[in-house]
Structure 1
Amino acid sequence: MFIETLLTDPLLFIRLIIILVVSITIHELAHGIVALSQGDNTPQVTGHMTLNPVVHMGWESLIFLCLVGIAWGQMPVNPSKFRYHKLSNILVSAAGPVSNLGLASIGIAGLYLSKDNGLVSQEFLYLAAQINITLCLFNLLPIPPLDGFHICSEIFPGLKWLENSYFGLFAMMIIWITGIGTIFFVVSQWIICKLVPTLSVCSF
């Protein structure tokens, strides 16, 4: 289990927890910021416009993260308040993955500039970039309740019925059991190595 990393490599465990908690928190805040810009004040009214990860993730998600390395977050929105229903829904849904792409870009930029001086190591920046590219790609999958599904269902309304079916649950189980999700880590590493080929992890 993921928790075993705490014993085998405590520093890696701490780095992963920090990166994932910050990334998920920013991801959810991005949804909220765009929702507010589209006329929905639900994120503000419910107290979710905060950097407190417990508000966005909840204790269950945080505990699950520490145990198995998987977590989730939630930003309450009310699509009926959106200024432009379809377009606003797409913008709000896309905001999360875009924020992860932004965080990944910061990590990659840091890799160009860092000298691994112990303050912000290249390993930390690499992990931050890889995890956020992975989160971006994963969340864009057209599977409910992921952001990619909400985007696709607005473009193709005929897909909306899947939201109330077991499709999402079965799809997630297949990804989890088969390990297909690891392909996102491979793709993210490939992207980073194309941009920063001098990294030691890119010598393959």
Structure 2
Amino acid sequence: MFIELLGSNPNFYFMCVLIVIFSVCCHEYMHARAALWQGDSTAADLGHLTLNPLKQMGAFPIIMLLIIGITWGQVPVNPSRMKHRYSDALVSFAGPFANLMLFLVFSIATAVVLVKYPQTVHLTSSSAFGALLLFYHAAMLNILLFIFNMLPIPILDGYNVFSFMFPGVHNINQELKNGMIAILFILVLFTFDKLQNLCYLITQFAVDIFRNVLGFIA
């Protein structure tokens, strides 16, 4: 269980917790901002144009994060108040898009540290090494959040985006939707490690590209 890291590696535990809370809050903030842009002020009226985790996530999701490493946000939107037929999909995509942008920012930050302090990987007690770990894992966790949230499964953002692209999805009955949600939980339980490994590979690939580009420029 995730909380076991608190005993074995407390620094890594708190680093992951802070990264996830910050990333989820950015994700939810972008939902609220995009909804307001598209004419729905529901989230804004309820105070969700903030990075406050108690507002964007709530106490229970934060507790779940601390214990089992799984959490979620809770920004309310009202598609009926939005301007365009694509607005709901746009608002849904805004959250994962925030995570994608954070992935790129933290990947570049990781590359900058590696280029500026190439000896960092051998100096595990240095502040630069601490920054390297923070940026690298922040990049990995954000691409993980992006990929996971874009899965076309009900309750995830990807479902609304997928539904806009393929309107026939709206005709799926509730039993099938419940089955898709069950698939989500099975995915989390049995394949999450593989998804995490994939995200590490993607992160390393991105960091290597940015590192080579920065090295060439320098």
TM-score norm. by structure 1 comes to 0.90
Any runs of at least 4 consecutive aligned residues in structure 1 with deviations exceeding 2 A, and if so which?
Answer: 160-165, 181-184, 195-199
Change (3 A) 1:162 1:78: same
How far apart in 1 are the matches of 2:82 and 2:69?
A: 34
Pair 1:118 & 2:132 matched: no
What's the counterpart of residue 11 of structure 2?
11
Paired residues in the alignment total 197
Distance 1:153 1:23 in 2: 25
State the Cα distance separating 1:177 from its structure 2 match.
2.8
- State how far apart, in whole Å, the 2-side matches of 1:65 and 1:128 are: 16
Matched to 2:167, the amino acid is P
Please state whether the residue corresponding to 1:75 is helix, strand or coil: coil
Mean alpha-carbon deviation: is it higher for 164-173 or for 130-139? 164-173
1:132 aligns with 2:142: yes
Deviation, 1:75, is 1.1
Moved more, 74-83 or 183-192: 183-192
Partner of 1:142: 152
**For structure 2, which runs of at least 5 residues remain unmatched after alignment?**
121-125, 212-218
CA distance in 2, matches of 1:194, 1:38: 35
Q: Hey, what does 1:190 align to over in structure 2?
A: 201
Q: Report if the CA contact (8 A) 1:40-1:78 is conserved.
A: yes
Does the CA-based 8 Å contact 1:30-1:96 persist in structure 2?
A: yes
Q: Is the 8 A contact 2:103 2:138 kept in 1?
A: yes
Q: CA-atom RMSD, angstroms?
A: 1.9
Instruction: State the distance in 2 between where 1:153 and 1:32 align.
Output: 20
Matches of residues 1-204 of structure 1 in structure 2 within 5 Å? Answer: 1-85=1-85, 87-114=86-113, 115=117, 116=120, 117-118=126-127, 121-162=131-172, 164=174, 165-178=177-190, 180-197=191-208
Task: Compare CA radii of gyration and give the structure with the larger one.
Answer: 2
**Structure 1 residue 42: deviation in Å?**
0.6
1:146 and 1:162 mapped to 2: Cα distance? 16
TM-score, normalisation: structure 2:
0.84
Separation in structure 2 between the aligned mates of residue 25 and residue 136 of structure 1, nearest angstrom:
14
In the TM superposition, what is the alpha-carbon distance from 1:38 to its structure 2 partner? Answer: 0.5
Distance 1:196 1:163, change over 3 A: farther
- Percent sequence identity is 35
Within 1, Cα distance between the matches of 2:21 and 2:149? Answer: 16
Q: Which runs of 5+ in 1 are unaligned?
A: 200-204
Say if 1:144 and 1:162, in contact at 8 Å, map to a contact too: no
Deviation for aligned residue 1:173: 2.1
